[in-house]
Structure 1
Amino acid sequence: MQSDGNARRSRERMMDRPNIVWIVGEDCPPRFGCYGDEPASTPNIDALAAHAVVFEQAYSAAPVCAPSRFSLLTGVVPEAHGPAHHMRAEAPLPPWMTTYPEVLRALGYYCTNNAKTDYNAAVDEARIWDECSPHGHWRGRGGDQPFLAVFNFDDTHESALFRDLPREVDPAAVRVPAYLPDCEDIRHEFSDYYSVIRRFDGFVGDLVAQLAEDGLTDSTVVLLSSDHGGVNPRSKRHCYEEGLHVPLIVAAPDAYAGALPHRGTRVPTPVSTVSIPATIIEFARGEVPGHMQVPGLTRRECRAEDMAFSARDRMDERYDMVRTVRDARFRYIRNFMPHRPCGQHVSFAWLGAGYQAWEREFLAGRLTDAQRRFFQPRPEAELYDLVDDPDEVVNLAGDPRYREHEERLARALREHMLAVGDNGFLPEGAAAEGYGPSRRPGAYDLARLLDLADVATARRPENAAPLAAQLDDPDPVVRRWAALGLVMLGRQAAPALAALDARFGTETDDAVRVALAEALAAVSPDPGPALDHLVDAATVGGRRPIRLEALSALTALDPRSLTGRVHEIGASAADPDPYIAGAAAYLALRIEGRYTPGTVLPPWSGIDFRAAR
């Protein structure tokens, strides 16, 4: 009888836990009626939101899928566990980094994922899910077992815009942001995306109807979100509002609604989607693992001073390092590689008509100052007032009237980077990458690197000597960022020529040598050896990160200096690595003067996206 009583109490505890359905629209910004988007037609999502808590200012950890999805699985920001912060990497997952479905399965939940994973980590999907396939559904469970069912809607992916779509919204009705040229291709791209959002709305309506058919409406919490922001130019891959702002709607039935603000509440303060794993565990009445870095949203007061942090690192073939923080009104952006423009060519993104049109207008000289900035080097810091300037075109950084806001947000961002152990200053593939390795004593002096980056990104000529003095530091990460600081100075790094030459002759670290070679290519009276090294590093077999760094360095140079090396570079356009192939093909075409914004580069040249589903 004692065992029967224990079994009954166990069943009662399980019945006391809600079912959870999490609906994720891939690459989907909050262009819904319930978010005030006038051209949108989203009756099902709006009906769900009417009886839910709507988080008006929810932000993803990264403006692209794989790093963001790492955080959605683990509750750890990707930059805390390199290389998860880089696009299409595979971070080793330590055994203690328990994922949220593992926690729920231990509580007796039946857990399914349908079907995208893209976790940017070495994850055994069969170990963390009861089913992970296009057939994953709560209906596969046994009896009254509580369930967690994740449904990913892929049709909202960026690639939808590479196909012919029904135009259900008049292009004249869309609003073109001030940072984009108001031209036909861009209006059509914005207009076309509403048709895939309408499909997503139908998908949501079908799932809600299935819950009702199965009598599960009153026992199921429904979450709706996206992995990151939108797909139009300067959104996905970029740390602006359009790239990071996501929908977040949480609808809880009466029995579980007390964990949140009242239904129908709209929460105006910033929250991070990194909080979703902990939120799900809290709904299931489980214990949130200590490594999850952002508290859940249940039983938590959202305060006016709350902030959301996000990051960008390598996107496909292009390296960058951007960190940003958003409070209730302002967004502060810290560009750690300001010498590279936002608009570095990414071969997949340029399959979209919007990017092609934007670059065509740039090359034709028809852009405003705000529109051409995308293709130019950046300031080290940006600050935007999102109330007065929702398109983020008026940079307030350095304006004395906004000094308090800039300093407050810059301080908060630095404290956050230190708190999470941000791996961003490490070259991809470094031995110190990862949550554990980067925290070993002496492995990674993040505070010192932050200070060094402040000197490097300031790009002041008087900093050439202090940067040159650190080229002989025992730490290769310090040497690399000192060299990058000289790269950022360009020809103004000439006073450091002797130090650069000397270090280049003795340096053994590949990542440091690439940075030294790029700096020397700008200031040396004989740049031949530096160029030879960069071409060899880019084209001769070696680790992908080094080849991509070298290709980026070569792309930043005057293409006329590489005329005699175009065949070596062009040969890598056939490389089996798609990122190497795309970067090399782009560079070769630039050298030959044959590049146009509409050129389809490997490996995409053989794929007919318009014939896809």
Structure 2
Amino acid sequence: MTGMNRRRAIGTIGGLVGGAALPAGCRSIGEPSGATGKPNILWLVSEDNNPFIGAYGDRLARTPNIDALAREGILYRNVYSNAPVCAPSRFCLLTGIHPESAGPAHHMRAEATLPDFIRTYPDHLRSAGYYCTNNEKTDYNCRVEAGEIWDDSSATAHYRNRAAGQPFMAVFNTEITHESRLFGSTDGAVRPEDVRVPAYLPDSPEVRRDYASYYNLVERMDDFIGEHLRALEEAGLADDTIVFYYSDNGGCLPRSKRYCYDEGLRCALVVRVPDKWRHLAPVSPGLEIDAPVSFIDFVPTLLSLAGIAQPAELPGKPFLGQRIADPKTLAFGMRNRMDERYDFIRTVTDGRYRYIRNYMPHRPLGQPVAFAWMLGSYADWHARFLAGTLDEVQRRFFEAKPHEEFYDLESDPDEVVNLAERPGRAADALASMRAALDQHMLAINDNGFIPEGSWLEGYGASRVAGAYPLERIMGIAAMAAGGRQDDLGDLAALLGDEDPTVRYWAATGVLIRMPDAGGLGGALRLRLSKENDLHVRIVLAEALSHTALAADGVAELARIAGRETSEPIRLQALNALTFAPDPSPTLEMIDTLVNDTGYLGRAATYLARTIRGTFDPHISMLPPRR
């Protein structure tokens, strides 16, 4: 448990509150006498946090303010962001829509276009009379203007500026624990020798220093939470305000942020509901809830608290308010492009087990990311891998991935014992999660199979009848990622399919089987000469680079990466060159990209240094400041 002798509500609200059943698994909670109007809502948001928090049972954590908030409120034990990084996660929080339903919102730092009928939550709340402020982080991964959706989005935005008697919804965000704060050392009560190093990391001074610094930053973040709680009390608003504390995604230590393990997706969530609004809560103060909650549920919850009808397009379930849904049993997560590196992962958890499906098993998790590698612990980990001093578990991060991963979080919290092939007594859970993930991806029209930059991306474009046959594509992608050599003939035949997304995944399947499919060199070169879709050409060219006709493949990748076309396509070509067996003939072109200030420059810097044999993980790959 947590060491605080807290009572727990094990994923149920039955018997704890009254109310007649409503459709779609919701329950109506009657309003007691004396409660009128609408509750104020305060969101206190920290960045890049796992629950390194005392109330969650962490004995090293020094978080008295969050711990007190938990004693007075409800602690949600299994809460997950829908993406293990800020921008896609914040898209979900703003819109109530899965980022992978509205490509390219599922990629890190992209600009999705929202259909007119999808409204942001501040838009909904302002229509209901709320004064809505954001102080001041946006990073919404879509084309919205903060000044148009908020009453105030700035460093001075505050609920105190509302009209007299007006209910407010206010967001205050802190970057105290953002990963960039770990680029140095932070002293405090927790020392490097105090921390536990997980099995997937080397037990090194750099790793211990970053863990200790993280704990000390969390303590400072807790001070921020305390300051806002005291300000609310001093303003005389605590009895009228429902307070949320949560983190915008999982942690930022190695193998957390950007990765689909618990440390990348699991977040803290504590909600304090004052007596006046107790009828809007599922349980009494001091209880914990084990049932999974994900960020897709936050917008429906806000609407439920404010008495606003939930639009049909929102897939989440409210966990507070006038229409509390039955508890969920699963939470889903995803990863696609993170910064300058491409990958494609989907995952689901019930809080006990985590199932992960890798659609690009040929790409290691540990593709160098310039910004993340500024952490000393990442640089040290990679340097030890290059030196050959890691053990088998610690090396996995830098090696090819299995198609499937399955972990028992109770017995294996570090997620290092993959039960996918031998689940034993958990076989039923594995089968159930496989099926549930397929059903979920179909239900939300997952855009992840569409290469970034394709005209098919988008909430509307991907739903045009016949444009994106998702069920068929999912089957081909599963065949591609499964890696069975027996499927090579079927994949090669699909290279001539009419659908470019089908051809893309067929080519990916051939690439995954390299170098065993090297005998297809002539057929790949012929197919490349006929292919008109640049995304497919990139994958075909990378596959060709693993054959006796490698020079033709490398030359094609250099042509695409160096030409004037869209940045996503150029970045995909540059990533493909990074994994070509011999990209050295392209060095002159790569050098022309090194000074690019975006993701192209970061990827080119790594590749140029690797070709020259000068790559050192300890030396920044970020472009120099101008």
Query: Which of the five TM-score ranges fits, normalised by the shorter chain?
Result: over 0.9
Per the alignment, in what secondary structure is the counterpart of residue 406 of structure 2? strand
In the alignment, the residues of structure 2 paired with residue 13 and residue 454 of structure 1 have an alpha-carbon distance, to the nearest angstrom, of: 57
2:615 partner amino acid: Y
Deviation at 1:154, TM superposition (A): 1.2
Deviation at 1:105, TM superposition (A): 0.5
Do the aligned residues in 2 keep the contact of 1:267 with 1:302 (CA within 8 Å)? no
Deviation at 1:13, TM superposition (A): 12
Do the aligned residues in 2 keep the contact of 1:465 with 1:495 (CA within 8 Å)? no
Identify if the C-alpha distance between structure 1 residues 458 and 129 changes in structure 2 by more than 3 Å, giving closer, same or farther.
same
Deviation at 1:14, TM superposition (A): 10
Question: 1:385 — aligned with what?
Answer: 408
In the alignment, the residues of structure 2 paired with residue 77 and residue 365 of structure 1 have an alpha-carbon distance, to the nearest angstrom, of: 40
Do the aligned residues in 1 keep the contact of 2:317 with 2:325 (CA within 8 Å)? no
In the alignment, the residues of structure 2 paired with residue 23 and residue 526 of structure 1 have an alpha-carbon distance, to the nearest angstrom, of: 57
In the alignment, the residues of structure 1 paired with residue 239 and residue 480 of structure 2 have an alpha-carbon distance, to the nearest angstrom, of: 57
Do the aligned residues in 1 keep the contact of 2:100 with 2:447 (CA within 8 Å)? yes
- Number of equivalenced pairs: 590
Do the aligned residues in 2 keep the contact of 1:14 with 1:145 (CA within 8 Å)? no
Per the alignment, in what secondary structure is the counterpart of residue 383 of structure 1? strand
C-alpha distance after superposition, 1:217-252 (max 9, x if no partner): 110000111110001000000000000000011111
Do the aligned residues in 2 keep the contact of 1:60 with 1:272 (CA within 8 Å)? yes
Do the aligned residues in 2 keep the contact of 1:15 with 1:146 (CA within 8 Å)? no
1:345 to 356, 368, 372: 368
Do the aligned residues in 2 keep the contact of 1:471 with 1:499 (CA within 8 Å)? no
Deviation at 1:254, TM superposition (A): 1.0
Do the aligned residues in 2 keep the contact of 1:224 with 1:248 (CA within 8 Å)? yes
Per the alignment, in what secondary structure is the counterpart of residue 454 of structure 2? coil
Range that drifts further, 336-345 or 425-434: 425-434
Deviation at 1:497, TM superposition (A): 3.3
Asked if 1:449 corresponds to 2:470, the answer is: no
2:191 to 129, 146, 170: 170
Per the alignment, in what secondary structure is the counterpart of residue 362 of structure 1? helix
Question: 1:5 — aligned with what?
Answer: none
Q: 4+ runs of 1 displaced by more than 4 Å?
A: 12-15
Question: 2:201 — aligned with what?
Answer: 180
Do the aligned residues in 2 keep the contact of 1:331 with 1:383 (CA within 8 Å)? yes
Question: 2:518 — aligned with what?
Answer: 494
In the alignment, the residues of structure 2 paired with residue 416 and residue 564 of structure 1 have an alpha-carbon distance, to the nearest angstrom, of: 44
2:573 to 546, 550, 564: 550
Question: 2:136 — aligned with what?
Answer: 115
In the alignment, the residues of structure 2 paired with residue 457 and residue 438 of structure 1 have an alpha-carbon distance, to the nearest angstrom, of: 22
Range that drifts further, 544-553 or 382-391: 544-553
Going by fraction, where is helix more abundant, 1 or 2? 1
Following superposition of structure 1 onto structure 2, how do residues 551-566 of structure 1 map, counting pairs within 5 Å?
A: 551-558=574-581, 561-566=582-587
Question: 2:303 — aligned with what?
Answer: 281
Range that drifts further, 177-186 or 458-467: 458-467
Do the aligned residues in 1 keep the contact of 2:318 with 2:325 (CA within 8 Å)? no
Question: 1:591 — aligned with what?
Answer: 611
Question: 2:625 — aligned with what?
Answer: 606
Do the aligned residues in 2 keep the contact of 1:168 with 1:192 (CA within 8 Å)? no
1:97 partner amino acid: I
Range that drifts further, 498-507 or 65-74: 498-507
Question: 1:610 — aligned with what?
Answer: none
Deviation at 1:496, TM superposition (A): 3.4
Deviation at 1:495, TM superposition (A): 4.5
Do the aligned residues in 1 keep the contact of 2:185 with 2:209 (CA within 8 Å)? no
Question: 2:544 — aligned with what?
Answer: 520
C-alpha distance after superposition, 1:105-144 (max 9, x if no partner): 0111100000000000000212210000011110011111
In the alignment, the residues of structure 2 paired with residue 152 and residue 425 of structure 1 have an alpha-carbon distance, to the nearest angstrom, of: 33
Question: 1:290 — aligned with what?
Answer: 312
Range that drifts further, 59-68 or 191-200: 191-200
C-alpha distance after superposition, 1:192-212 (max 9, x if no partner): 012221121111111111111
Question: 2:54 — aligned with what?
Answer: 33
Do the aligned residues in 2 keep the contact of 1:20 with 1:220 (CA within 8 Å)? yes
Range that drifts further, 153-162 or 255-264: 255-264
Question: 2:28 — aligned with what?
Answer: none
1:74 to 95, 103, 125: 95
Question: 1:23 — aligned with what?
Answer: 44
Percent sequence identity over aligned pairs: 46
Asked if 1:50 corresponds to 2:71, the answer is: yes
Q: Which runs of 5+ in 2 are unaligned?
A: 1-32
In the alignment, the residues of structure 2 paired with residue 541 and residue 430 of structure 1 have an alpha-carbon distance, to the nearest angstrom, of: 16
C-alpha distance after superposition, 1:414-452 (max 9, x if no partner): 000000000000011211211111111101011011100
Question: 2:338 — aligned with what?
Answer: 315
In the alignment, the residues of structure 2 paired with residue 134 and residue 210 of structure 1 have an alpha-carbon distance, to the nearest angstrom, of: 17
In the alignment, the residues of structure 2 paired with residue 13 and residue 437 of structure 1 have an alpha-carbon distance, to the nearest angstrom, of: 49
2:355 partner amino acid: Y
Asked if 1:229 corresponds to 2:253, the answer is: no
1:399 partner amino acid: R
Following superposition of structure 1 onto structure 2, how do residues 58-69 of structure 1 map, counting pairs within 5 Å?
A: 58-69=79-90
C-alpha distance after superposition, 1:496-554 (max 9, x if no partner): 3343222111111100000000111112x222111101111122222111111111111
Q: Which runs of 5+ in 1 are unaligned?
A: 1-11, 608-613
Q: Give TM-score, length-normalised by structure 2.
A: 0.92
Following superposition of structure 1 onto structure 2, how do residues 144-543 of structure 1 map, counting pairs within 5 Å?
A: 144-260=165-281, 261-298=283-320, 299-300=323-324, 303=327, 306-399=329-422, 401=424, 402-523=426-547, 525-543=548-566
1:379 partner amino acid: P
Following superposition of structure 1 onto structure 2, how do residues 77-116 of structure 1 map, counting pairs within 5 Å?
A: 77-116=98-137
Q: Give TM-score, length-normalised by structure 1.
A: 0.94
C-alpha distance after superposition, 1:229-287 (max 9, x if no partner): 00100000000000000001111111222222211111112211221111111111111
Deviation at 1:602, TM superposition (A): 3.0
Q: Superposition RMSD on alpha carbons, in Å?
A: 1.5
2:346 partner amino acid: R
C-alpha distance after superposition, 1:345-404 (max 9, x if no partner): 101000110100111111222212111000000000000000000000000001151332
Do the aligned residues in 2 keep the contact of 1:465 with 1:496 (CA within 8 Å)? no
Question: 1:568 — aligned with what?
Answer: 589
Range that drifts further, 363-372 or 324-333: 363-372
Do the aligned residues in 2 keep the contact of 1:59 with 1:246 (CA within 8 Å)? yes
1:450 partner amino acid: M
1:597 partner amino acid: P
